Chains A and B, each alone.
Chain A
Amino acid sequence: MDTTRPMDTTRQRALLHDEKHFAHALARAGAGAVIFAFPLLMTMEMWELGFYMDRFRLALFMLITMPVLFGLSYFSGFEETFCWQDDLVDALTAFGVGFLVSAVLLYVFGIIAADQPMTEIVGKIALQSVPASIGAMLARKQLGEGDDPDEEQRKRSSYPGELFLMAAGALFVGFNVAPTEEMVLISYKMTPWHAILLAVLSVALLHVFVYRVGFAGQESRGKATFLHVFMRFTVAGYGIALLVSLYLLWTFERTGGLSMMELVTAMVVLGFPAALGAATARLIV
């Protein structure tokens, strides 16, 4: 892709609105949707949730997806953007790509068929289109070349930006396991001591992954004290991961009928992959 080469801004903007460039970005978005969404497209619980889950919760989930896509487009996205209209165009395009990719694959797998009722078909595709469209949006970072690093760094360095990326990472990684029965099953097998241990482990890994291990995109602590960074990023990040987990469990109707203890344990269980997602958000987003 040409946009990463040094060139004057006018030429970059001309490229953004060029048909060939956009078609190329579109193809990459489709590839991203397939690669990121196929595990969930091949998960039985996702098909079942698609037709039986509460319609309002599914509609709300989709309404929340749109601002997430918009934010991801701002921070990376499948093509470089320069104003919020571009981000809106990209968010809608990513949704369309995710939806169509999900529809085609579900049809090929024989999960949807023309004789099924409309609500069943729409529900199955709509649920899958959430991870597929996020995958389409992430295609640029994962499959293409990166943004202009200076510009990206500037956007990302704001505190709300950091928190948004952590939430998006938690949502994306958490989503990959949240629909499965195992989330609740694991929480049934755990004692409160196991749950506390898992929570401590999640926080420790979140902190270490962000500041210690040396992954690409790792944050440098700079002059800030350990306690400052720990409270400001790690604890905030784990809080976000837990909230995202609770929301996903509620969306997938895994919260109904659970006692408070079981609910908290399930939240901590899903909070583990969500915390890993928050920690590695800089890598995948």
Chain B
Amino acid sequence: MVEVNRRDSYEEPREEESASVSWVARIASGIGLVLFLGSVGILGYEGLFRSGGDPVIALSVESVTHDGQRWLARVRAENTGGETGAQVRIAGQLMTGQTVVETAEAEFTYIPAGSTQEGGLFFDRDPKAHELRLRVLGYAKP
């Protein structure tokens, strides 16, 4: 990129001047080049190896707390798939045997591919006293 044999015709600078671009300019443009190639490189790599496929969303309970009135189950949703899920609706069901005793729902606006989002489900009963079944209900393509 630095080697130049033929110059553009609009101006004819002498050799020693183009070689004397100030060190500030060299550093600034060097940083710009690294950032440019780095981000294009990362995006190109992602495009080659990550794009396509469907959202694969796994749910897990982070913690269960009681706020004096209701029980809060904090939920973590991780998308290990290759696509972002939008408007991802999840439900948590408290089970006694095969009977659903209580259901709570939440919606995530976005769960980007490869990323984790957190939310919470409120229950009137103690989730620790029941089996808490988490389900992803559906999503929309962004």
Q: List residues of chain A with CB under 8 Å of any chain B CB.
A: 13, 17-19, 22-23, 26, 48, 51-52, 54-56, 58-59, 62-63, 66, 82-86, 88-97, 99-100, 115-120, 122-123, 125-126, 129, 155
Contact = CB atoms under 8 A, between A and B. Distances in A.
B11 A51 contact: no
Given A23-B24, A52-B113, A96-B29, 7 more contacts: A56-B51, A82-B11, A89-B26, A100-B35, A120-B115, A122-B38, A126-B43
Contact of B24 (A22, A51, A94): A22
A19 B23 CA distance: 7
A116 B84 CA distance: 14
26 contacts: A17-B21, A19-B24, A22-B28, A51-B84, A51-B110, A52-B84, A52-B142, A55-B43, A55-B47, A56-B44, A59-B40, A62-B36, A83-B11, A84-B7, A86-B18, A86-B21, A89-B28, A92-B29, A93-B29, A95-B32, A96-B28, A96-B35, A100-B35, A115-B116, A119-B43, A119-B46
Interface in B1-56: 1-2, 4, 7-8, 10-11, 13, 17-18, 20-26, 28-33, 35-36, 38-40, 42-44, 46-47, 50-51
B112 interface: yes
Contacts of A99: 32, 35-36, 39
Given A26-B24, A48-B142, A95-B35, A122 B29 contact: no
B84 A123 contact: no
A128 to B, nearest CB: 11
A230 B1 CA distance: 41
Contacts of A100: 31, 35
Contacts of B29: 88-90, 92-93, 96
Interface of B: 1-2, 4, 7-8, 10-11, 13, 17-18, 20-26, 28-33, 35-36, 38-40, 42-44, 46-47, 50-51, 84, 86, 110, 112-116, 142
A17 B10 contact: no
A122 B114 CA distance: 13
B39 A119 contact: no
A93 B42 contact: no
A19 B27 CA distance: 11
Given A13-B17, A83-B18, A122 B42 contact: yes
Contacts of B31: 96, 100
B28 A55 contact: no
A54 B112 CA distance: 12
A82 B13 contact: yes
A55 B110 contact: no
A63 B51 contact: no
A122 B21 contact: no
A123 B43 contact: yes
A51 B112 contact: yes
B74 to A, nearest CB: 16
B39 A54 contact: no
Q: Which of A85, A120, A122 has the most C-beta atoms of chain B within 10 angstroms of its own C-beta?
A: A85
Contacts of A88: 1, 29
Contacts of B2: 85
Contacts of B26: 89
Contact of A117 (B10, B11, B40, B115): B115
A13 B110 contact: no
Contacts of B42: 118-119, 122
Pairs of residues from A and B, 5 with the lowest C-beta to C-beta distance, nearest first: A96-B32, A55-B47, A92-B32, A92-B29, A52-B84
Contacts of B1: 88
